[in-house]
Amino acid sequence: MAGRLRTVGLRITHAIPVILGVVVVSFLLTRALPGDPAVYFAGHAADEASIEEVRTALGLDKPLPEQFLIYAGNVLTGDLGQSLSSGQPVLQDLANRLPASLELTLTALLLSCSIAIPLGVLAATRPGSAVDHLCRVLVTAGVSLPTFFTGVMLIYIFYYLLGIAPSPLGRLDFIYIEPDRVTGFYLIDAAIAGDWETWTGALKQLVLPATTLALFTLAPLARMTRAAMLGALSSDYIRTARAAGLTEDKVLFTYAFRNALLPVITTLGMVFSFTLGANVLVEKVFAWPGIGSYAVEALVVSDYAAVQGFVLAMALLFVALNLVIDLTYTLIDPRIGFETR
């Protein structure tokens, strides 16, 4: 147990230089802007005086290392700057829009896991069968699909041609009112308020973008599940289990699947990372008011504080997520922690 705690501690400490690196890179990205950074932060419409104000306010006239310390200090207190377009602190903007992205991403991941994992398991237990071939085709095709293209095509088919899906204009059709904000997740908030009409409305809007994102994540998850199951099933300990007469269910689930879960969880982490990026594209296609579209809009109007804040926030989110996954792994696999003994 002591070994485990030590590993956990080590993993957390390993994250620290990475966080530092992330802050440094974010800092450099803005300071590496061609031209005068103050102009960018002040905005296009700014005049000489306000540019100077911005320059002093942001400390852009100070030497670079000092600027970094100011920047790092700001980050620690949660000050990511001011957004030009909204006039609000960037952190607040991000906090407002994060739930939308999370709701989308989590729904998509849930959807793709519920298809990919059973598919991968089936493909591994029936090699050469129709299911196996389907899995392999899906995987190869899946990794080739550009998310923005799939999104666009899905809109065309289900909205324009078939008329089933609602118009891709965001989280809720304008006839509905946003539920009272508890978590920011419309599905949860509407359910809490008992407002089932809004709940259905939100769900309908969620379907297409979540499916688009799910298609994207389906392929690597199915591929890894299949590979991990195949690996586990061909292991010696499965042979022992079978030779002892254990039922096929026991062999598959308690012995093979649990062992196969480990690499699948690692892949889940990677997939989440890709999704945080693919989010940007899907949000643009479906006009989803999440942090991805926030960043894109900010980019278009050259709202650099917002873009920088977005990059930093996403990276930190990702580090936190990876840490959680690492720790989950540590808890599941008893072999970890043994190495540090």
Partner 1 sequence: MSLLSIEVLKVSFSTRRGSVEAVRGISLNLEKGEVLGIVGESGSGKSVTSYALMRLLERNGRISGGKLTYGGIDLREARESTMRDLRGREISMIFQNPRAALNPIRKVGHQIEDVLRRHAKATRSSARAEAIKALEAVRIRDAQSRYNAYPFELSGGMCQRIVIAIALACDPKLLIADEPTTGLDITTQKAVMDLIAELIAERDMSAMVITHDLGLAAQYCNRLVVMKDGEVVEEGNPEALFSRPQHPYTRKLVDATPRPGASVRQLLPLDLRPPEPRLPKVEAPLLEVRGLTKTYQGKSGPVHAVKGISFDVGRGESVGLVGESGCGKSTTSSMLVRLLDPTSGEILFNGRDLAKSPAKGFARDPDRARIQMVFQDATDSFNPRHTARQSIAEPLARLTAIPKRERAKRIDELAELVGLPQPLLDRFPHQLSGGQKARVGIARAIAVDPQFLILDEPTAALDVSIQAIVLNLLVDLRTKLGISYLFVSHDLHVVRLLCDRVIVMRDGEIVEEGTAAEVMESPSHPYTRELLAAAPKPPVTVTAERSAAE
Partner 2 sequence: MSDATTSQVPVKQDGTLAHIGYVLRSNPVTLLAFAMFAILLLAAVLGPVLAPYDPMESNAAIALQPPSPAHWFGTDNLGRDVFSRVIVATRLDLAISVAAVALSFLIGSILGSIAGYWGGWLDTVLNRLFDTIMAFPLFVLAMGIVAALGNTVENIVYATAVINIPFYARLVRAEVNIRRDAGFAQAAKLAGNSDVRVLALHIFPNALPPMMVQVSLNLGWAILNAAGLSFIGLGVRPPTAEWGIMVAEGANFIVSGEWWLAFFPGFALMFAVFTFNLLGDGLRDMVDPRQRS
**Which burial class, exposed, middle or buried, applies to 218 when counting CB atoms under 10 A from its CB (0-12, 13-18, 19+)?**
buried
Under rule CB under 8 A, residue 217 binds partner 2: no
According to CB under 8 A, which one of 59, 284, 329, 333 is a site residue for partner 2? 284
Instruction: Enter the tokens of residue 184.
Output: 């920011």
Instruction: Enter the tokens of residue 13.
Output: 């400490």
Q: How far is the CB of 236 from partner 1 (least distance, A)?
A: 4
Q: Which is nearer to partner 2, 198 or 293 (CB)?
A: 293
Pure H helices in 126-183 = 130-142, 147-154
Q: Could you tell me which stretch among 42-50, 72-80, 310-318, 331-339 binds partner 1 (CB under 8 A)?
A: 331-339
According to CB under 8 A, which one of 62, 92, 98, 148 is a site residue for partner 2? 148
Please give the angle made by the CA atoms of 21, 22 and 25, to the nearest 5 degrees: 85
Instruction: Enter the tokens of residue 277.
Output: 């990026």
Instruction: Enter the tokens of residue 152.
Output: 């666009």
**Which burial class, exposed, middle or buried, applies to 117 when counting CB atoms under 10 A from its CB (0-12, 13-18, 19+)?**
buried
Tell me the Ramachandran region of residue 178: left when phi exceeds 0, alpha when psi lies from -120 to 50, beta otherwise: beta
User: Restricting to residues 214-243, which ones interact with partner 1 according to CB under 8 A?
Assistant: 235-237, 239-243
The closest of 178, 165, 174 to 212, measured between CA atoms, is 165
How far apart CA 211 and CA 128 sit, in angstroms, is 28
Under rule CB under 8 A, residue 63 binds partner 1: no
Under rule CB under 8 A, residue 106 binds partner 2: no
According to CB under 8 A, which one of 81, 99, 120, 168 is a site residue for partner 2? 168
According to CB under 8 A, which one of 140, 234, 247, 254 is a site residue for partner 2? 140
Q: Which is nearer to partner 1, 181 or 258 (CB)?
A: 258
Instruction: Enter the tokens of residue 59.
Output: 């400390």
According to CB under 8 A, which one of 232, 276, 305, 336 is a site residue for partner 2? 276
Under rule CB under 8 A, residue 257 binds partner 1: no
According to CB under 8 A, which one of 246, 299, 321, 327 is a site residue for partner 1? 246
Contacts of 32 (CB under 8 A, 6+ apart): none
Question: Which one of partner 2, partner 1, none interacts with residue 148, CB within 5 to 8 A by kind?
Answer: partner 2
Each as own residue / partner, the long-range contacts of residues 254-262 (CB below 8 Å, 24 or more positions apart, any chain) are: 256/229, 256/232, 257/121, 257/229, 257/232, 259/228, 259/232, 259/235, 260/121, 260/225, 260/228, 260/229, 260/231, 260/232, 261/228, 261/332, 262/228, 262/329, 262/332, 262/333
Question: Which one of partner 1, partner 2, none interacts with residue 47, CB within 5 to 8 A by kind?
Answer: none
Question: Which one of partner 2, partner 1, none interacts with residue 284, CB within 5 to 8 A by kind?
Answer: partner 2
Q: How far is the CB of 3 from partner 2 (least distance, A)?
A: 21
Judged by CB under 8 A, the number of residues near partner 2 is: 54
Judged by CB under 8 A, the number of residues near partner 1 is: 28
Q: How far is the CB of 326 from partner 1 (least distance, A)?
A: 17
Residue ranges binding partner 1 (CB under 8 A):
127, 235-237, 239-248, 250, 254-255, 258-259, 262, 332-335, 338-341
Residue ranges binding partner 2 (CB under 8 A):
14, 17-18, 21-22, 24-26, 28-30, 32-34, 140-141, 143-149, 152-153, 155-156, 159-160, 167-168, 273-274, 276-278, 280-281, 284-285, 295-296, 299-300, 304, 307-308, 310-311, 314-315, 318-319, 322
